[in-house]
A and B are shown apart, each in its own frame.
Chain A
Amino acid sequence: MSFGARLRRDWPLILMCVPAMLLLAVFHYLPALGNVIAFQDYNPFAGDSPLQAFLSSEWIGFGNFQYLFETPAFWESVRNTLGITAFQLVFYFPIPIMLAMLLNSILSPRIRSFVQSVVYLPHFFSWVLVVSLFQMMLGGAGLVAQTARDAGFTAPDFMTDPDTFYFLITSQALWKDAGWGMIVFLAALAAIDPSLYEAAAADGAGRWRRLWHITLPGLRPVIVLLLILRLGDALNVGFEQFYLQREAVGRDAAEVLDTYVYYQGIGVQQWGVGAAAGLFKALVGLLLILGANKVAHRLGEQGIYSKS
């Protein structure tokens, strides 16, 4: 079919895509291009509009990056970010998998769907609410402290202790999203052919052997996929959770890259430096995800996109 004929046939479909494309152009791709101010000494007062300010701001090459790389606070935020990712990889990542396997082994459909409804729920709460609930339960004036006081003890205030901060944020993340994270594993479990279990059982495999030789291999592609996504997101530990608790816990423990970008850029108005830190994060993140995907291909897994 000729181009003209296809255009005549498909123009309504193209038109339908236009509103979403325009919104993304303005609020996603335009800011993405705007990252070039990382190479500028951006001065918002250099013009009447950000565009004019951008045009009249001075280009300083890698000056902002040089500044960042010489700043201990920046490296501290990088270290915190990576530390949190590593910690969560060990203490968060396996939990939804185990939870899914546990729930999958529950045969009563009523109990299963009840538990599912309950544990999915916190995923829909905001970080503000989750942190608030933790504050109300574990904070200095919280329920746990109140109960301990009544019993004659004093409970530590987990909400302000930098030493236990990793545990705190990981338990918050678990509370909020472990149930939701289970969904994809439950789907993978449901997709495993029951006749495999049947055959294994007929061959005399007990429940642990079946778990090891059928269930876990069945989950492997999903686990690898999510592991890649998590590694690619290593610098993305989430913003709101840390913004909300940075004050109480202190910058040493709770400053991550995202909060660093915020306080450098919008906080102390070092726009170029903030943008540079953001760009650094985005580029490293991109490299990580492409690299992790490559590793997955090497291992013979599907990864996020197939090699084709």
Chain B
Amino acid sequence: MTTAAESLKPRRGELRPAWEEKPSVLGRLGKGTILTLVVLAVLVPLWVVVVTSLSSTETINRAGGYVFLPREFNASAYVVIFSGGQVTDAVLVSTLVTVIGTALSLSVTVLAAYGLSRTGSLGHRPILFYFLLTFLIYPGMIPSYLVVTGLGLKDNLLALVLPAAVSAFNLVVLRAFFMSIPAELLDSARIDGAGEWRILLRIVLPLSRAVTAVVGLFYAVGYWNTFFNAVLYIDRNDLQPVQRVLQQFILAGQVPTNAGAGAVVHLPGIGYTAPPNLAIKMAVVVVTVVPALIVYPFVQRHFTKGVIVGAVKG
């Protein structure tokens, strides 16, 4: 016979806390089904897109469109979109905007977050209020348009960077983390004669690499996904970012210019192939996703820390 107290002791080799009974078979089946469906809902579309982008005309025709099971590896669609033309331009534009924008945003935000990380400092309250007020006061689309165009930024890539450069949310996340660094550490550095700049660069930043990486990812994703500001401010074709090109090809149904349907490409070892329209479109989709997929695994494990710190303390 076991007493209640005994049965509450953790059992060895089990993750389950002792008070938690094992769910019924039906319960487990239900959970498994739901989670599998959720995961498949995310992965299947991506899978179909990637496989189709790597398929030949023949495979695509045989499948009657989208391809589910890969039959071969055919990268000709990628050769086409990267051999110059609109998509190549767009990838360069987006890369440039993302790199410059993220660098600018991150440095400006880190500086301000550190500047505000000491609660007793001069001007701390009004300056923090100045940043937090952006949550309540929206600039408005029309006046923003007039300001940005008034500054002569029409058809200038800075129009994709500067209006989005500072996010108060990211600032709050970083500040909260900076504030959680033990004050004794900073004080001892100060006694050793380090100024604020040195403390920030030598002590605070190295300690907050993970959170800075998450915030950097947030900014980078924002810049890579820039779409609407491009609708507003960029008219020139060669300055369009990838999201605009994606919209034109997939949603508006255009065909990539100067590397479009029927373009014949020479592929070493394969010979001459004409990559099908659909494969090219899918390749454009893949190109817009891939950067996120590459960075994501490195930063993903820090999400919870970064986001929660900001959300809870902000």
Smallest CB-CB separation from A239: which chain B residue? B228
**What are the residues of chain A within 8 A of B15 when measuring CB–CB?**
107-109
B48, CB-defined interface residue at 8 Å: yes
A168, CB-defined interface residue at 8 Å: no
**What are the residues of chain A within 8 A of B107 when measuring CB–CB?**
19
Q: Mark A1-21, 1 if CB is under 8 A from B, else 0.
A: 001001101111111110111
Q: Mark A149-161, 1 if CB is under 8 A from B, else 0.
A: 1100000000000
The one of A11, A32, A103 in contact with B143, judged by C-beta atoms closer than 8 angstroms, is A32
Given known contacts A107-B15, A128-B251, A201-B8, A20 and B108 CB-to-CB distance under 8 angstroms: yes
**What are the residues of chain B within 8 A of A106 when measuring CB–CB?**
31, 35
Interface size on A, residues (CB 8 A): 99
Smallest CB-CB separation from A143: which chain B residue? B66
B73, CB-defined interface residue at 8 Å: no
A129, CB-defined interface residue at 8 Å: yes
B64 pairs with A20, CB closer than 8 A: no
**What are the residues of chain B within 8 A of A149 when measuring CB–CB?**
64
The one of A27, A109, A243, A265 in contact with B147, judged by C-beta atoms closer than 8 angstroms, is A27
Q: Once bound together, how far apart are the Cα atoms of A106 and B20, in whole Å?
A: 12
B45 pairs with A194, CB closer than 8 A: no
The one of A27, A107, A141 in contact with B162, judged by C-beta atoms closer than 8 angstroms, is A27
Among A44-65, those with CB < 8 Å from B are: 44, 49-51
B267, CB-defined interface residue at 8 Å: no
A286 pairs with B49, CB closer than 8 A: no
A31 pairs with B144, CB closer than 8 A: yes
A90, CB-defined interface residue at 8 Å: no
* Shortest CB distance B147–A (Å): 5
Q: Mark A266-282, 1 if CB is under 8 A from B, else 0.
A: 10000100110011001
Q: Once bound together, how far apart are the Cα atoms of A207 and B139, in whole Å?
A: 49
Q: Once bound together, how far apart are the Cα atoms of A10 and B122, in whole Å?
A: 6
A-binding residues in B (CB < 8 A): 4-5, 8, 15-21, 23, 31, 34-35, 38-39, 41-43, 45-46, 48-49, 64-66, 107-109, 111-112, 114-116, 118, 121-123, 127, 130-131, 134, 136-151, 162-163, 165-166, 171, 195-197, 200, 217, 221, 224-225, 227-228, 231-232, 243-244, 246-247, 250-251, 285, 288-289, 292-293, 296-297, 300, 303-304, 307-308, 311-312
Q: Once bound together, how far apart are the Cα atoms of A306 and B218, in whole Å?
A: 28
B-binding residues in A (CB < 8 A): 3, 6-7, 9-17, 19-21, 23-24, 26-35, 37, 44, 49-51, 99, 102-103, 105-109, 111, 114-115, 117-122, 124-129, 131-133, 135-137, 141-143, 146, 149-150, 175, 179, 183-184, 186-187, 194, 197-198, 200-202, 207, 239-240, 243-244, 248, 258, 261-262, 265-266, 271, 274-275, 278-279, 282, 285-286, 289
Given known contacts A13-B114, A136-B66, A122 and B42 CB-to-CB distance under 8 angstroms: yes
Extra inter-chain contacts (9) besides given A124-B221, A278-B143, CB under 8 Å: A16-B111, A16-B200, A20-B166, A129-B285, A202-B5, A202-B19, A261-B141, A271-B146, A282-B137
**What are the residues of chain A within 8 A of B312 when measuring CB–CB?**
187
Interface of A is mostly: helix
Q: Once bound together, how far apart are the Cα atoms of A6 and B297, in whole Å?
A: 44
Given known contacts A20-B111, A23-B166, A275 and B143 CB-to-CB distance under 8 angstroms: yes
Give the one of B144, B151, B232 with max A CB within 10 A.
B144
Q: Once bound together, how far apart are the Cα atoms of A243 and B130, in whole Å?
A: 31
